[in-house]
Amino acid sequence: MSRRVALVAAAALPCGKWQTPADAALQVLEHEVLASLVADAVAEAGIDRRDIGSLAFAQCRPYTLQKYFATFMAHYLRLPCTGTVSETLGNGMTAGLAFERAVDDILLGRAKVALALGVNFETATSAAEHMMSSMRATGDVDFQVPFGFTPIAWYAMDAARYMHEYGVSREAIASVAVKNRRHASLNPLAQFRKLITMEDVLAQPMIVEPLGLFEVPPRSDGAVCLVLAEEEVARATGRPYALIRGRGFYHEGAHQISEVPNDMTALAAAQRSGQAAYAAAGVGPSDIDFAEVYAPCTIVEVLVSEALGLMPRGRGAHGAAESETSLGGRIPICTSGGLQSRGHPAYVTPFYTFVEVLEQLQGRAGERQVRDARLALTSAELGNYNAALVHVLEAVR
C-alpha cells in the first residue's frame, strides 16, 4: 500500500495511584480521565476532530465499572466513526495491539485519523484479587495457578539462568534499576522519580530471588491517548511527527508459562519480530538511536536488548553497568525510566512507550533528550516474550 502512517500527538496521565476505593465518597472515573486526554491530544495534533475515523481502545482492566467501554466512549466523546470502534486485549501487549489496529485502519483507507487510547486503573483493587487475576491469565489454571506461580517468579528464573550461563553478578543486573530511576527522575510522567543507588537496590527485600523490590514493576494507574494519521495529514499540520517505518510480530505458539522446553534467555519471539521490523524499515540494530522496550523486570530489559541486537548476547547487563544503555551512552534504553520507575499500568504500558518515542523524535524530551534522535525502536510483549511486537519509527521535522 502507498499510504504511510505517522504518530502525530499524544497526551498521558502521569503513572501513579489514581483509582479510588469502591467505598470512597468521591470516585475518579476512568472515562472522565480519558476524555480529558483525548481533548488534549487532538488539540496538540492540530487536526479536525471530524477526520477521526477510528477509535482503537486497549481493553480496560476487569475492575473497571463501565463495561462496553469503547462504544460508551464513542458516545461520551460524540465521535461518530466510519472506520472501527473496538477494544483489544493481549495482556502486556494490549496497548500495542490497539496501536496496530489504529495503524491498520489508516492503511486500509478506513480512516485518515485514528486514536489509539486506553485507561488502566488497578491500584485500589485488593492485592489478592489482582494476583488471582494475574495468575489465571499467565498460567494454566489446572497446573501452575494452584501452586501460586506468579509472573515475577518466571522472570526470576530467567535471571538465575542468565547469571549461571554468563557468570553475571546480581549487581550488574541491578544496575538497570539504578539507570532507569535516573532516567525517570527527568520524566514528569514517571511514578518514581527519587534517585536511588546500587546500595538502595540491594538493600530491598526480595520479591522472588534474585529480584528485589526495586527490580520489579509497581502496580500503576495510567491513561493515554495517541493520535495517528496518514502521513499526508501529518505533513499538513506543519508539526514534527514520528513516521512508522517498520513493524514485526511473532508468537511462538506457546503460552506465557509453558511446559515446552526452550532457551529461557534467548527471547526468540523478540528476535523474530525484531528482524521483521528491521527488514521492513530497511535498517539494522546499529542504526537505532535509542530504544524504549517493554521490560517489567531488570532482567527482561537485559534479555530483550540482546534479542533485538542492541547488545551482544551475554553482554546486556554489563552494558547497563558500564552506562552503554544510559542517556549519553552508545544506545540509550528506556529513557522514560522503564517499567520499574516510570510505572507499569499494564494494559496501557505500550502506549507510554510511544509517548516517550514521540517526545524524543520531536525533540521535546527536555533533560532526557537523546541527542540527534532520528530512529527509535519499541517493543511490547504478551508475557515472558512468548510473543513480541516491534516497531521502528523515524523522526520527521
pLDDT band at 200 (very low <50, low <70, confident <90, very high): very high
Per-residue confidence (pLDDT) for residue 259, from 0 to 100:
75
Per-residue confidence (pLDDT) for residue 149, from 0 to 100:
74
Average pLDDT, the chain: 95
Q: Could you give all domains of the chain from N- to C-terminal order, each with its CATH number?
A: 5-125+224-236 (3.40.47.10)
| C-alpha to C-alpha distances, 65 to 14, 76, 91, 224, 371, nearest whole angstrom | 21, 15, 19, 19, 43
* pTM listed for this prediction: 0.96
pLDDT band at 378 (very low <50, low <70, confident <90, very high): very high
Residue bearing the bigger pLDDT, 262 or 220: 220
Per-residue confidence (pLDDT) for residue 138, from 0 to 100:
76
pLDDT digits (tens, 9 = 90+) for 31-57: 999 999 999 999 999 999 999 999 999
393: amino acid identity, one letter: L
Q: Is it the case that residue 174 has pLDDT exceeding 60? A: yes
- Identify whether the C-beta of residue 186 lies closer than 8 Å to the C-beta of residue 238: no
How far is Cα 196 from Cα 104, in angstroms, rounded to an integer? Answer: 41
pLDDT digits (tens, 9 = 90+) for 126-159: 888 877 777 777 777 777 777 777 889 889 999 9
pLDDT digits (tens, 9 = 90+) for 81-90: 999 999 999 9
Per-residue confidence (pLDDT) for residue 64, from 0 to 100:
86
Task: Count the neighbouring beta carbons within 10 Å of the beta carbon of residue 49.
Answer: 15
How far is Cα 354 from Cα 105, in angstroms, rounded to an integer? Answer: 18
- At 291, phi and psi to the nearest 5? -135, 140
